[in-house]
Structure 1
Amino acid sequence: MTIQANALDAHRRLAAVIEDLTDEQVAQPSVLPGWTRGHVLAHLANVTVALAGQAEQEGTKVEPYTGGRPARDAAIEAAAGRTAGEHRAAIADAVARLTKAWDDVRDWDTPVFYRDGTLVGTAYGVWREVEIHTRDLDLGPVTWSPEFCDHAVDFLSARVPDGVRLTLRAPDRTWTVGEGEDVTLTGSRTDLVAWLAGREPDGPITGDRPELKPWP
Structure 2
Amino acid sequence: MVARHDLTTDPELLAALLQARRGTAFFARKLNELSDADLDGDSLLPGWTRRHITAHIGYNARAIARLVEWAATGVETPMYPSTEVRDHEIDFGATLSPIALRHLFDHSAVHLNVEWRDLPGDAWHHTVRTIQGREVPATETVWMRSREVWMHAVDLANGAAFGDIPEPVLERLLKDITGAWKTRGTDKDLVLKVTDRNLTFGDTTSESPAIVSGPLAAVVEWAAGRGSGGVTAAGPGRAALNSTVPAAPKWI
User: What secondary structure does 2:37 align onto?
Assistant: helix
Unaligned regions of 5+ residues in structure 2, if any?
1-13, 234-240
Confirm or deny that 1:13 pairs with 2:13.
no
Q: Does structure 1 retain, via aligned residues, the 8 Å contact 2:181–2:249?
A: yes
Q: Does structure 1 retain, via aligned residues, the 8 Å contact 2:57–2:105?
A: yes
Q: Does structure 1 retain, via aligned residues, the 8 Å contact 2:57–2:149?
A: yes
Residues 1:19 and 1:123: Cα distance change in structure 2 (over 3 Å): same
Give the corresponding residue for 1:48.
Answer: 61
Instruction: Write the distance in 1 (CA, Å) between the matches of 2:160 and 2:227.
Output: 13
Give the corresponding residue for 2:4.
Answer: none
Structure 1 segments, 4+ long, off by >6 Å, are none
Query: How far is 1:169 from its partner?
Result: 1.9
Give the corresponding residue for 1:188.
Answer: 215
Identity of aligned residues (%): 23
Q: Deviations over 1:69-107 (max 9, x none)?
A: 111111111110234333222111011101110012222
Q: Does structure 2 retain, via aligned residues, the 8 Å contact 1:7–1:123?
A: yes
Residues 1:14 and 1:211: Cα distance change in structure 2 (over 3 Å): closer
Query: How far is 1:213 from its partner?
Result: 4.1
1:34-113 equivalent positions in 2, closer than 5 A: 34-58=47-71, 59-65=74-80, 67-106=81-120, 107-113=123-129
Q: Does structure 2 retain, via aligned residues, the 8 Å contact 1:159–1:196?
A: no
- Segment of structure 1 superposing worse, 92-101 or 15-24: 15-24
Root-mean-square deviation (CA), in Å? Answer: 2.0
Instruction: Write the distance in 1 (CA, Å) between the matches of 2:49 and 2:187.
Output: 34
Q: Which amino acid aligns with 1:113?
A: R
Unaligned regions of 5+ residues in structure 1, if any?
none
Instruction: Write the distance in 1 (CA, Å) between the matches of 2:157 and 2:76.
Output: 35
Instruction: Write the distance in 2 (CA, Å) between the matches of 1:194 and 1:155.
Output: 13
Rg (Cα) greater in structure: 2
Q: Which amino acid aligns with 2:78?
A: E
Query: How far is 1:210 from its partner?
Result: 5.3
Confirm or deny that 1:128 pairs with 2:156.
no
Residues 1:179 and 1:211: Cα distance change in structure 2 (over 3 Å): farther
